[in-house]
Amino acid sequence: MNSFASPPTLGALPFPRRADDLYSRIFDAILEQRIDVTSRFTEESLAQMFSARRSDVRDVLMRLSHQHVIVLRPNHRPRVAALDSEQTRQMLHARRLTEITLVRLACQSRPQDLKPLRALIESERHCTAGGSAIRLSGEFHLRLAEMAGNAPLAHFLGSLVPLTSLAIAQFGVHLEGYCVWHQHQAILEAVERGNAVKAEDLLGQHLDYLEGILLNSESSISRNRVAG
């Protein structure tokens, strides 16, 4: 069993110590499978490993629980959610319906200040850590959704994007090869021009890519389990 109870495992890694990026550091560890469905951990052990306050760790776990990445139950240790194929298919379908609407709204609103999204794409472009690349990719979609001006839809997408990231990690996608910044850049350029048809087409292609790598990876895992 992969135990996450030994502080030296992560204590030597060069993470920054700021509390405001604790969520990113813990989520990156989950996406890189340093914390996975078999890991045994507590608020206290995570606080030690990430040199953080236990109350801050609790807040992060609650946030990840709301995103269905972490499962919290009374009188049980926290655990990473284990996704199945049907859950993943439904999540991808819901995400497509939601995000196509949001990108159309973003084109109609033509947001003026796109500097944060451009900076995020630049961070994606230069990111060398697989888990961080996946998380940054998800943040692009969430930031773009916020600019669309429909808070309920953006909130709903916020429950789907982290699950997509978790599925990418759990279904064995090669993290070091995960790079989609150029797709995001093309989508953003279409939004900036207010070209809804182009933006929807590019987003559809991007989601096709995500579904392809996820469902193909999941199918391969299923076949290997049967063969084994």
pLDDT of residue 180: 85
Together in a domain, 94 and 38: no
User: Are 103 and 179 contained in the same domain?
Assistant: yes
Whether residue 115 sits in one domain with residue 49: no
What domain count does the chain have? 2
**148, 89: one domain:** yes
**pLDDT per position in the chain (228 positions), as tens?**
443 333 333 333 444 445 458 999 999 999 988 999 999 999 999 999 999 999 999 999 999 999 999 999 998 999 999 998 888 889 999 999 999 999 999 999 877 788 999 999 999 988 877 788 889 999 999 999 999 999 999 999 999 999 999 998 888 665 555 678 999 999 999 999 999 999 999 999 999 988 888 877 655 444 434 344
In this structure, which long-range contacts are made by residues 186-190, counting pairs with CB atoms below 8 Å and at least 24 apart in sequence?
187/103, 187/144, 188/114, 188/117, 188/118, 188/121, 188/144, 190/107
Q: What CATH number does residue 29 fall under?
A: 1.10.10.10
**23 and 41 housed in the same domain:** yes
Give the orientation angle of helix 22-31 with respect to helix 54-66, to 10 degrees. 60
Question: 36: which DSSP letter?
Answer: -
DSSP 19: G
In a domain, 1, yes or no: no
Domain that holds residue 24: 8-80
* pTM score of the predicted model: 0.80
Same domain, 32 and 90: no
Burial of 113 per CB tally in 10 Å (0-12, 13-18, 19+): exposed
Same domain, 68 and 140: no
Residue 2 falls within a domain, yes or no?
A: no
Classify 41 as helix, strand or coil. coil
Q: Which residues contact 59 (CB under 8 A, 6 or more apart)?
A: none
Cβ neighbours for 16, distance < 8 A, ≥ 6 positions apart: 25
Q: What is the pLDDT of residue 5?
A: 38
Q: Which two tokens stand for residue 150?
A: 């429909």
| pLDDT at 169 (0 to 100) | 86
**Helices 196-227 + 85-109 axis angle, to 10:** 170
Shared domain check, 97 and 208: yes
